[in-house]
Chain A
Amino acid sequence: MNDVARTGIQIRGLTKRYGSTVALNNLDLDISPGEIFGVAGPNGAGKSTLVRMIGGEESPTSGNLMLDGQAWSPADKWDVVSIVHQEPQLFPNLTVAENMVAGREGAGTAWPKPGDDDLQIMDALGLHSVRDIPLGECSLAMQQRTEIARAVARAARVFLFDEPNSALTDAESDELFREMHKLAESGRIVLLITHRLGDLVRHCTRVAVVRDGRVRTVLSGETLTEEGLARQLVTEGTGGGSPALRNAAQTPEAAPMFSVRDWTSPNAFEDINFSARPGEIVALMGVEGSSARELLRSFAGLERTTGAISLAGASDIDLRQLRAYVPATRALSLYSNFSVGENLLARLGAPDIAGPFLGLKKSRMASLAEQSVRRFLIKTRTAAQPIRSLSGGNQQKVAIAQALNCAPKLLLLEEPTRGVDIHSKNEIYHLLRDYAASGKVVIVFCTEVLEIFEVADCAYVVAEGRLSSRLAIADYEQVEQLATDIARLEQSLSAKAAA
């Protein structure tokens, strides 16, 4: 087999459709062995679909894959690929050594033991000391390394790292990258998919930017810079984003409607002071582990906190009815056993949809559902359609509409347009904009600078549990400037925390 030309992976015309949604659209890509190849792209651009295709977890609708010059169907020849997940998908109840051999136990009937080769691989990856410890008790970094070791042991050719270091410490992620370089040097094919532009620039020889299911460009050498990547990720054809969308009637003098003081949550954030005025869309930006997400959830009353909170004059207990929270994934807000209409009304109660003795007002529900479908521009044939029959973007609109139907004074959203096509994205931005304009506060947790630029009035960066100063988005003409400032704020916050 050594005679076979080790030419890497060639992908031609790869297309994947989910119902009416096109996740990958005629994608071409060449990846050579011996390099770390980066893939960047905004949420919903098709990155994760690409990973699933190469990993053989799903089959493409059309298109060809070649590995080392031969036609290759990852679904059948899955063992040449190893996906190193953000959350390792192994057996937490078995020891590291047992994890090494699970699935390759050989022909014996005894409780399997790792062979000499396995031991060598584990030693090379620094797993020697944890060999007999249950995997679930090891750190995330060790678990990832176990995943790598398993793949090395079965002579995998392709290593996919999907946001591998988002939950690792700096030292741990340095170690991980060292291992990735070693894998690449040994002639294996290494792919890195991440949001962290700095990592892509530092460690990859080439980076493909994926947008709308295609490879927009491949950056390498001189052109491969953080700025260059940021520009490729956000510019051109994104629609919306015009400052005209913003509320003209911003009155900076208006009194804050929502505020927290000395807002503290153990192990997350400390002494946060924050306020928002009616009509405002506020973005909280932060990478995973920055506590930005936790901060947003704490505003929804979902985290243990100390400090003072006030919303439209009410404090604490009365808040319940006044705020609504939309989780990051639709799986946490939609009910798959419900129709579109029932999903839209799921958060309502008496007297909106139920009368005395809690009897449901069926005809009122039908008309309310129909109204919501129109008001929130949900594309469905009827409101009685099962929720799963809708496209991702429309499901997301239902998830947001479900919260809006409670008419909360404070609307809290986590990554409201994750995995959503551009068309729906703009409609969601309009919905949020309109809702804020009716004198409510909207707070959004974002991971994409472009999203902040397009939807928010102001933004705060969160890093290491600290809140930055306020950035007024109207001050920025171009999203690149905003991206630079956010990166700068993030660094200075982290530096402060380290000091």
Chain B
Amino acid sequence: MSSDVTQTPSQSPTFSKVGKATLNVAARIGGLFAAVVVVAIVFVVINPNFANLNLAVSVLRAMSSVAIMAIGLTLVIVVGEIDLSFGAMYGLAANTLAVMWVVHGVPVYFAIPLTLVIAALVGAFNGSLVTRWKIPSFIVTLGSYNLLYGLSLWVSNSGTFNPNYPPSGEDLPQGQLDFFIGLTQSFGKYQLSAEVFWMLGIAVVVGFLLHRSLFGFRLMAIGGNPEAARLARMPVRRYKITAFILCSILAAMAGILDFSFIQTSQPDIGLSQTFPVFAAVIIGGASLSGGKGTIIGTLGGALLLAELQIGLALLSPGPHVQQIFLGAVTIIAVGLDLFLTNLRKSRA
């Protein structure tokens, strides 16, 4: 019909491996990390004392648990579903572990795997209700958010626990205590917490899973077009359930690690994490309609948020500034992304 379709690819001289889609993703992530740098420069200009490595290390620490949860959430968002329950799972994990270990003296080496198994069951519960009973994931996980928080209140009897001061009055075995606190040991001149390495390790493993494995490939396909995936006989249900399970397990890991770092469990911890984790995933470029999202982007989103949070906390006269900024940044980031995408499309 038109003249430009007559050219065949076999004759085209440059059959480059990199296409526009890849470049767009790269540009987006580049932009995100550029924003991280720009924000850092702005803070340093405002207050030159901010230019120190201790602060950078605490930003990394602060982003860790948010990032671990956000990595899990990215999987669920990529497959086109939503999980609101991870914050409550984070809290339930810390509280279950505290009750099993600190109160009942179950050795921590058993209590941690058991907690992760519970998390997997929670994920399977969410995923099964979504795929088998076709209840929208928003509703299912809104329900399980409350359910899990209720369980946290119940098992902990609304109490707080610290492994250094068990309620029985009898000290926990020193070896177990050392192991548990060692999970997030800070070391080096700048007191870098091991939690940062947990985050990086998880990012590498899940990054491989999402971007380099058949599992991730199909996850993207299912999120991009669930109906096509069903017609092509992909295991849509199994993959969705797996995404929910991984999201729950990662939330539980974040809960356990933060418990190890803070060394206090409270029944309502984690609930306030829902917003920053979602914001990190969305700023990272994942699309709520599914099929889009990267682990590196999510990390960038978590980093930008942690940076703003700590910088503003040090600068601002009150917590309201932080809160207002975080909300604005999320909307601006997504708005800017849509604007630039449309700009690129209209030029193409």
Query: CB within 8 Å of B: which residues of A?
Result: 20-22, 212, 302, 320, 325, 327, 331-340, 342, 346-347, 349-350, 353-354, 357-360, 362, 366, 370, 373-374, 377-386, 389, 391, 393-394, 402, 421-423
CB distance from A131 to the nearest CB of B (A): 33
Q: Is B225 part of the contact surface with A, judged by Cβ < 8 Å? A: yes
Q: A354-B214, A381-B9 are in contact. Are A335 and B16 (CB under 8 A)?
A: no
Residues of B within 8 A of A402 (CB): 232
Which residues of the partner chain A approach B10 to less than 8 Å between Cβ atoms?
A: 374
State the CA gap A366–B29 with chains docked (Å).
23
Residue from the set B17, B19, B228 with the largest chain A CB neighbour count within 10 Å: B228
Q: Could you tell me the distance in whole angstroms from the C-beta of B28 to the nearest C-beta in chain A?
A: 13
Indicate if the CB atoms of A331 and B225 lie closer than 8 Å. yes
24 A–B contacts, CB within 8 A, in A order: A20-B2, A22-B1, A327-B228, A331-B225, A332-B227, A335-B224, A335-B225, A336-B225, A337-B220, A349-B214, A354-B213, A354-B217, A358-B214, A360-B216, A374-B9, A379-B7, A380-B9, A384-B17, A385-B19, A389-B20, A391-B5, A394-B5, A421-B1, A423-B1
A382 & B1 in contact (Cβ 8 Å cutoff): no
Number of interface residues, chain B, beta carbon within 8 A = 40
Least CB distance from B12 to A in Å reads 7
Kindly state the separation between the CA atoms of A327 and B19 in the bound complex, as whole angstroms. Answer: 27
B18→A346 contact, CB < 8 A: no
What 10 pairs between A and B have smallest CB-CB spacing?
A: A384-B19, A337-B291, A354-B214, A335-B224, A337-B224, A358-B214, A386-B21, A385-B19, A421-B1, A20-B2
- Once the chains bind, are A335 and B292 in contact (CB under 8 Å)? no
Shortest A216–chain B CB gap in Å is 16
Which B residues, 1 to 45, have Cβ-Cβ distances below 8 Å to chain A? 1-2, 4-5, 7-10, 12, 14-22
Q: B241 near A: Cβ within 8 Å? A: no
Contact of B347 with A by CB under 8 A: no
* Separation of A340 and B21 alpha carbons in the complex (Å): 10
Nearest A-chain residue to B225, judged by Cβ: A335
Asked if B87 is at the interface of the complex by the 8 Å CB criterion, the answer is: no
Asked if B134 lies at the interface with its beta carbon under 8 angstroms from chain A, I say no
CB distance from B308 to the nearest CB of A (A): 29
- Which residues of chain A have C-beta atoms less than 8 A from B189's C-beta? none
**Closest approach, in angstroms, between the C-beta of A303 and any C-beta of chain B?**
12
Which residues in A have their C-beta under 8 angstroms from that of B19? 339-340, 381-386
> Would you call A382 and B17 a contact (CB within 8 A)?
yes
A339 touching B9 by the CB < 8 A rule?
no
CB of B231 within 8 A of CB of A333, answer: yes
A359 to B221, CA, bound (A): 16
In the bound complex, residues from chain B placing their C-beta under 8 Å from that of A360 are: 212-214, 216-217
- Interface assignment of B165: CB less than 8 Å from any CB of chain A: no
Set A340, A346, A377, A385: member contacting B232, Cβ < 8 A: A346
CB distance from A455 to the nearest CB of B (A): 20
Interface check B132, CB cutoff 8 A: no
Of A366, A381, A389, chain B has the most CB atoms within 10 Å of the CB of: A381
Determine whether B223 belongs to the interface, using a CB cutoff of 8 Å to chain A: yes
User: How far does the alpha carbon of A394 sit from the alpha carbon of B7 in the complex, in Å?
Assistant: 13
Nearest Cβ distance between residue A317 and chain B, in whole angstroms?
12
Q: B320 in the interface, Cβ–Cβ < 8 Å?
A: no
B215 at the interface (CB under 8 A from A): yes
Q: Which of B8, B15, B228 contacts A377 (CB 8 A)?
A: B8
B231 touches A332 (CB 8 A): yes
Q: B348 — which chain A residues lie within 8 A by C-beta?
A: 389
Question: Taking the complex as formed, is B208 at the interface, i.e. its CB lies under 8 A from any CB of chain A?
Answer: yes
**Cβ distance B292 to chain A, nearest Cβ, rounded Å:** 5
Count of CB-CB pairs between chains A and B under 8 Å: 125
B292 touches A337 (CB 8 A): yes
Chain A residue, CB-CB nearest to B223: A337
Q: How many whole Å from A331's CB to the nearest CB in chain B?
A: 7
Task: State A288–B306 Cα separation when bound (angstroms).
Answer: 57
When the two chains form their complex, are residues B20 and A386 in contact, meaning their CB atoms are under 8 A apart?
Answer: yes
Residues of B within 8 A of A366 (CB): 17
Point out the residues of chain B lying under 8 angstroms from A342, CB to CB.
217, 220-221
CA distance A342 to B225 in the complex (A): 13
Question: Chain A residues near B217 (CB, 8 Å)?
Answer: 342, 346, 353-354, 360
Contacts A353-B214, A354-B214: A339 and B228 contacting too (C-beta < 8 A)?
A: no
Q: Which chain A residue has the least Cβ–Cβ distance from B7? A: A379
Q: What's the least CB distance linking A214 to chain B, in Å?
A: 12
CB of A381 within 8 A of CB of B291, answer no
Are A347's CB and B232's CB within 8 A? yes
In Å, the complex CA distance between A302 and B1 comes to 36
Residue of A nearest to B287 (CB): A337
Cα distance A353–B7 in the bound complex, in angstroms: 29
**Closest approach, in angstroms, between the C-beta of B18 and any C-beta of chain A?**
6
Name the residue of chain B whose CB is nearest to the CB of A391.
B5
Complex alpha-carbon distance, A334 and B8, angstroms? 22
CB–CB A338/B224 < 8 A: yes
Residues of A within 8 A of B1 (CB): 20-22, 212, 421-423
Which residue of A is nearest B19, CB measured? A384
Check A381–B12 contact: CB distance below 8 A: yes
CA gap between A83 and B2 in the complex, in Å? 30
A336 contacts which of B17, B18, B291 (Cβ < 8 Å)? B291
Q: Do the beta carbons of A362 and B212 come within 8 Å of each other? A: yes
B290 nearest CB neighbor, chain A only? A337
For residue B18, which residues in chain A have a CB less than 8 angstroms away from its CB? Answer: 382, 384
Shortest C-beta distance, B51 to chain A (Å), equals: 40
Given contacts A332-B231, A336-B224, A385-B20, 5 further A-B contacts (CB under 8 A): A333-B231, A337-B291, A342-B220, A382-B16, A383-B15
Rounded to whole Å, the gap between the CB of A397 and the closest CB of chain B is: 11
Which residues in A have their C-beta under 8 angstroms from that of B228? 327, 331-335
Contact partner of A359 (CB less than 8 A), chosen from B17, B208, B231, B291, is B208
For A336, list chain B residues within 8 Å (CB): 224-225, 291
| B21 CB contacts on chain A under 8 angstroms | 339, 384-386
Inter-chain CA distance A366–B22, complex, in Å, is: 13
Nearest neighbor of A381 in chain B, beta-carbon distance = B12
Q: Provide the bound-state CA to CA distance between A373 and B2, in Å.
A: 20
Across the interface, do A338 and B221 meet the contact criterion of CB distance under 8 Å? yes
Highest count of chain A CB atoms <10 Å: which of B208, B215, B221, B227: B221
Complex CA distance for A166 and B348, rounded to whole angstroms: 39
- The smallest C-beta distance from B84 to any residue of chain A, in angstroms, reads 23
A20 to B4, CA, bound (A): 7
Cβ distance B226 to chain A, nearest Cβ, rounded Å? 10
Q: A353-B214, A382-B16 are in contact. Are A333 and B9 (CB under 8 A)?
A: no
Contacts A21-B1, A379-B9, A384-B22 given; does A334 touch B212 at CB 8 Å = no
Contacts of B220 in A (CB 8 A): 335, 337-338, 342
Contacts of B214 in A (CB 8 A): 349-350, 353-354, 358-360
Q: Which residues of A contact B231 (CB under 8 A)?
A: 302, 325, 327, 332-333
- What A residues does B287 contact at CB under 8 A? 337
- A16: shortest Cβ distance to chain B, in Å? 12
